[in-house]
Structure 1
């Protein structure tokens, strides 16, 4: 950015601030009600076989749907706290077969069926007292509801219906489970967590900024930019929500990124401005190199992070795309605020940016020098300079040690097992989790192990089409039995003639085949079973769609696997191009990709170790673990964390390159760059990590996992990677760090970032 840009900002500083204030007000107005326009779900591929099976079941076999499951008993209350005491109360003296319970349960079923949004309602009493809908001790019975619409419609129906049912169910205890209720409680929990995280993050961040800058004025400026970026992104999301589906989860990540990057970018602008002032420059003179160097670096960084997040747009799940929408807007807003609004504020404040030093009396002259109120010591005497030189004297030892630590942290990732979140993503004391635990422990396990298979093209001769197919399915490993319109089958033979419910398994040209598995659907074995079921040849002239939770996991994982190469290509390709344009080097971009891969692998390994396997989980609030890792989390973490890692890479390289152009000394330039960015990168990383860790207090495991994973990635990148691996690598590479073949060097001279050695 040439000096005329900073000069224009200085001249028009008042106008820039008035426009910014207007934008802030409009963004605040435009963001109103955004939470009400966000939708639930979005974890599945809408074109996958499991999604098709779900739509066919909803259309042709609504009575078999279990979008919402109500657990009814005649004793206790639905609000009893611990699961154990709740189980005892639900196991009260009144049996679900008593006349009173039969009357109450039947009336509730009919009332639920008349509720708007409910397609069909089936209960223990209206389905001929089916044993699978009655607890083993006879104290609880089930009402299974099929709901209309998509996941968001179903969640909103559950949000209306469940409280209404409870209000009008005197004499009954009502608990709710099922996918719609999970989504409903997740929406409430994420909204609560967002408010709590904001209330905690803001004061902690302000205190840390005061510790970094000392000045209350300087500490407040990054929060202003963060607030601006968050409000703008919320307003844009509100507008986008009328065009595309935006996940409820995206708001938490948008606020976290807005706070983190708004503070991050502002720190680098502020640090450079104060450095120039300490060097004796006037306010107008200090603004020039601040905008030209730090501002340009922020712009490059923001573009790099935005392009990394844009890779999420290639995935079919709108849950992942939502993070791209919110993330791209908030990153570009934060960068624009730091490059345009913050310099205008600094132009107005000038030397007053250091006013109200709240820690002045606690610091001696040396500490005041470090905080920016005195002329700093020579670079060679700084801690970061000395540390970098020590690392570069033994680059193999230090670099090899850092790689070994990261490899150990990464090793658990080899044991990663994909899954999708369910009730256990919520806190252990949540209503839906306790209800689902009762389903697991008090009812026939087969009810939760049934895999629905929809066969299209059955025709009139059901027996000829369905029986050979059902027989073949019953012979598949881990299949206990298969039930359809022609009977029940096990181990390759018919074991039961078709019952009264058989006719309900056929609707027109479609038939429902229920496969009862010997393994849980939310386990890796359940996912493998889906693959074997799909390997069975479909009936002649028929089309088969295997559905259920395990099928959704398999399809979602496959969809992510198919799109991942394109996403990784976007992230890697854009980073290579931008870093080449920034540095003019071929090796620097490759080095950045390799080192980022090390830190991300370590992050993934730690996530598996804690969240999948449950080790040290007490450190993050003891979330429930199921032996699986949500399939969307690794790729989401990769895109977000990669962008954040490149953020610090760009800031460090900008100072190293600036020095190298002046001196031509590679080793001294690396130490100089680390000395001038080490403290501020560490402060920025601590602030970003704190914001992310605060958002990890969420009761939703998925958000907790994302917050902890990103915070860990930032910490590893700012410590082992920036402080140890970068100096080690650059010392070993020497002048080759800045090499590029002739054609690429000439290309960089024409289109890349160029600076004179004395600039």
Structure 2
């Protein structure tokens, strides 16, 4: 059945690449989106969807041969796909010609009232834009999104090609054998194939961002390896205790299997929080992420135990380690993790304060984060869209002006004398607002009109956003409704939607996580501790990302061009992912400590023996998870590079600082109070809690994990 699933899901899921869409970073229900839709229907001229730069090294734009080659090609474009064309020989605008007059750009409007429809129109003409004998480069919003999708697909293939062999080698080192090492990779492969099929199903029902595939590939592989590592390690541990294969599987599922379920649900809950936002990008990440985690849990609990049942003791076959027969297993008091835990718990206050100081220091840059919109700078310099962006910035004089557009729905036709006078008065009022350079009526058709307000500065600056909000306070003509559009208004609406939705998402994630962790640990304090620690680690991670990507540090090492800001959807996605995966390791560690506490009834000994039993596995799992994420950090797309770097740093920080150092120190300070719950809740946990101790213990101190 597993093989059949792999074949069917792989055959169906591979088609998802053709069904995914670019963009998804805007609120489809915002006023700025409504303004764009109204302008699309009423006015033939609007901001270009595509910009094509034509360059001739020998001829200038004044040469008839240059003109005829470009204009002749533009006239061949199908009007069903290209609804508007503006070029220098039509407009006579000097700003459309480079300073050396050897280059010019053409602005194209594509058919469609949304990004996805425009993408399809662009695909239909992508090969018809080159003019004979003239160099051409395709850029602008739609081509840039299309090129980003292609670049991500290429980077994903390279990341997978690099990750699988490296992961296999590391798994062989961790397990000490080829047979055991292959099992987590099998689970990861099944998870990726299944998630691709799920994404394609979603793509038939709604828009799915092209960026979601990167998350499916990386998260499906990383989480599946985590869970596979936990299951296989526990199974080998149970075999080492003398259990038969069947008994070992039963005990493994009753202990490590339950940890996998709790961990998977916790991660999925955090990822599902992204569906609260109206943005297609975040919703797509939630679809792909939840599918990856759920399928990883499913295959870890179904396919993996079945494979272990077939292998039995042969799971240790092809071992690369030699162990003398009859060598007794070391006591848990002899392990390095046991000694480390006791060393940390001798001075818990110093360890806790020092660790918190480090986290807070790393978090400081987060206080000055600046948000900005995605543009061509996310692409590598080799991409056409980036080259067009660079040429327009470097070689052309910007004689045009940016504008914030007020698109109005009037109560009567704009051409009437009364309405025209009211419309002009409204434009005059907008032009007098602080920060505006002036305003003019830039379009009027039927009961729809557009007033464009010019301003200085960048479109996504805080000053431009403040101007948008001041313009919104100006009363429109009587009976009219004004919708503000343009790049600044879109960005302002995006930040407003994020700010309005974020508290709800945080509340949902916090409450759901708290309840799940209570069911896993039976404590009212430990879930709160875990949530607070995660928020500290997240703040530290965001601080480092601001220091690197916003401020431009390490740009030569990581190979990127800083933009001076961070796309606002990215912190939301990283929050959901990092919060969920951090809880992954929290569940691994504290579940094992809880198991030891139930056996020993000693909070200090439980922490030490629990860390001894799971510490090496957590570190191994974290390092393995970092492999595909580090491969993603090599992507040429800035968004994916930030994602990879942020995830790698967050995981290493979480394991090395929070789980290994801070958790033992804080649990020592809490003592027995850490496991306290009021009587009714304690009885509820005793009856319904998700515990790892249902399998009867056979010794007061379990043997350490052998991986």
TM tier, shorter chain?
over 0.9
Stretches of structure 1 that go unaligned for 5 or more consecutive residues are: 1-18, 77-91, 486-504
1:580 corresponds to? 518
Distance of aligned partners of 1:438 and 1:264 in 2 relative to their CA distance in 1, 3 Å threshold = same
Q: Note the alpha carbon deviations across 1:575-633, whole angstroms, 9 max, x for none.
A: 1011111111100110110111111111111111111111112332x222221111101
> 3-state SS of the aligned residue for 1:483?
strand
> 3-state SS of the aligned residue for 2:75?
helix
Matched, 1:21 2:9: no
1:109 corresponds to? 74
- The Cα shift of 1:27 comes to 1.5
Aligned pair partner of 2:569 in 628, 632, 641: 632
Q: Note the alpha carbon deviations across 1:64-102, whole angstroms, 9 max, x for none.
A: 2301112223x14xxxxxxxxxxxxxxx5x332343334
State how far apart, in whole Å, the 1-side matches of 2:571 and 2:550 are. 12
Q: Does structure 1 conserve the Cα–Cα contact (< 8 Å) formed by 2:73 and 2:128?
A: no
Distance of aligned partners of 1:446 and 1:731 in 2 relative to their CA distance in 1, 3 Å threshold = farther
1:70 corresponds to? 52
State how far apart, in whole Å, the 2-side matches of 1:31 and 1:374 are. 49
2:149 corresponds to? 187
State how far apart, in whole Å, the 2-side matches of 1:186 and 1:259 are. 23
Moved more, 417-426 or 23-32: 23-32
Q: Does structure 1 conserve the Cα–Cα contact (< 8 Å) formed by 2:255 and 2:695?
A: no
- The Cα shift of 1:688 comes to 0.5
- The Cα shift of 1:343 comes to 1.2
Distance of aligned partners of 1:155 and 1:375 in 2 relative to their CA distance in 1, 3 Å threshold = farther
Aligned pair partner of 2:656 in 719, 725, 732: 719
State how far apart, in whole Å, the 1-side matches of 2:694 and 2:183 are. 31
Matched, 1:235 2:197: yes
Q: Does structure 2 conserve the Cα–Cα contact (< 8 Å) formed by 1:410 and 1:603?
A: yes
Matched, 1:340 2:302: yes
Q: Does structure 2 conserve the Cα–Cα contact (< 8 Å) formed by 1:645 and 1:714?
A: yes
Matched, 1:140 2:122: no
Correspondence 1:376-391 to 2 at 5 A: 376-391=329-344
State how far apart, in whole Å, the 2-side matches of 1:27 and 1:229 are. 10
2:61 corresponds to? 96
Correspondence 1:134-173 to 2 at 5 A: 134-149=97-112, 150-166=114-130, 169-173=131-135
State how far apart, in whole Å, the 2-side matches of 1:454 and 1:138 are. 36
State how far apart, in whole Å, the 2-side matches of 1:513 and 1:443 are. 27
- The Cα shift of 1:375 comes to 4.6
State how far apart, in whole Å, the 1-side matches of 2:449 and 2:30 are. 19
Q: Does structure 2 conserve the Cα–Cα contact (< 8 Å) formed by 1:655 and 1:673?
A: yes
Q: Does structure 2 conserve the Cα–Cα contact (< 8 Å) formed by 1:67 and 1:146?
A: yes
> 3-state SS of the aligned residue for 2:634?
coil
Q: Does structure 2 conserve the Cα–Cα contact (< 8 Å) formed by 1:395 and 1:728?
A: yes
Q: Does structure 1 conserve the Cα–Cα contact (< 8 Å) formed by 2:74 and 2:129?
A: no
- The Cα shift of 1:165 comes to 1.7
Q: Note the alpha carbon deviations across 1:39-58, whole angstroms, 9 max, x for none.
A: 11111001112211222222
Q: Note the alpha carbon deviations across 1:558-587, whole angstroms, 9 max, x for none.
A: 111111122112211111011111111100
TM-score where L is the length of structure 2? 0.94
State how far apart, in whole Å, the 1-side matches of 2:531 and 2:399 are. 48
Q: Does structure 2 conserve the Cα–Cα contact (< 8 Å) formed by 1:454 and 1:546?
A: yes
- The Cα shift of 1:757 comes to 9.7
Q: Note the alpha carbon deviations across 1:423-461, whole angstroms, 9 max, x for none.
A: 011112211111112222333335363333323216323
Q: Does structure 2 conserve the Cα–Cα contact (< 8 Å) formed by 1:428 and 1:624?
A: no
Stretches of structure 2 that go unaligned for 5 or more consecutive residues are: 698-707
Q: Note the alpha carbon deviations across 1:145-176, whole angstroms, 9 max, x for none.
A: 1112221222233234233221xx11322222
CA RMSD across the alignment: 2.0
Matched, 1:256 2:218: yes
State how far apart, in whole Å, the 2-side matches of 1:481 and 1:375 are. 85
1:325 corresponds to? 287
Matched, 1:546 2:514: no
Q: Does structure 2 conserve the Cα–Cα contact (< 8 Å) formed by 1:109 and 1:123?
A: no
- The Cα shift of 1:480 comes to 2.9
1:510 corresponds to? 448
State how far apart, in whole Å, the 1-side matches of 2:465 and 2:380 are. 25
State how far apart, in whole Å, the 2-side matches of 1:57 and 1:640 are. 38
Correspondence 1:205-220 to 2 at 5 A: 205-220=167-182
- The Cα shift of 1:747 comes to 2.3
Moved more, 200-209 or 705-714: 705-714
State how far apart, in whole Å, the 2-side matches of 1:535 and 1:132 are. 33
Matched, 1:48 2:13: no
State how far apart, in whole Å, the 2-side matches of 1:662 and 1:144 are. 72
Correspondence 1:323-722 to 2 at 5 A: 323-358=285-320, 360=321, 375-445=328-398, 447=400, 449-457=402-410, 459=414, 460-461=416-417, 463-485=420-442, 505-620=443-558, 622-722=559-659
Q: Does structure 2 conserve the Cα–Cα contact (< 8 Å) formed by 1:417 and 1:524?
A: no
1:501 corresponds to? none
> 3-state SS of the aligned residue for 1:516?
strand
Q: Does structure 2 conserve the Cα–Cα contact (< 8 Å) formed by 1:306 and 1:331?
A: yes
- The Cα shift of 1:397 comes to 1.0
